[in-house]
Amino acid sequence: MKLNTDFILRTVAGEHMLVNTKGRQTDNSSFFSINDPVEWLWKRINGMEFTEETLVDLICEEYEVSREEASADVANLIKMWRTYGIIAE
């Protein structure tokens, strides 16, 4: 899978956001606030193909977290990204 190139990462007033460049500006589903770890992950995988396992590996290498916890977090993140079209498969 890959990230949908319609989404770009922006930081506004210290807040990280994913912005859908093809979305309507008045549509709340056109932008999403994300936390620092997701912003970090986005920068690592942007423009490349990845699997859930790739994301788990990256998280475990960077953060002190168990593989089980990282797997659960990644599964939730992928589910949300699929729901909102952030992933292009």
Mean pLDDT, residues 69-80 taken together? 96
pTM reported for the whole predicted model: 0.86
Domains and their CATH numbers in the chain: 2-88 (1.10.10)
| C-alpha span between 43 and 20 (Å, rounded) | 16
CA gap 46, 49 in Å, rounded: 8
Whether residue 27 is predicted with pLDDT greater than 80 in this model: the reply is: no
The C-alpha atoms of residue 58 and residue 48 are separated, in whole angstroms, by 13
Instruction: Encode pLDDT of 32-71 as tens digits.
Output: 899 999 999 999 999 999 999 999 999 999 999 999 999 9
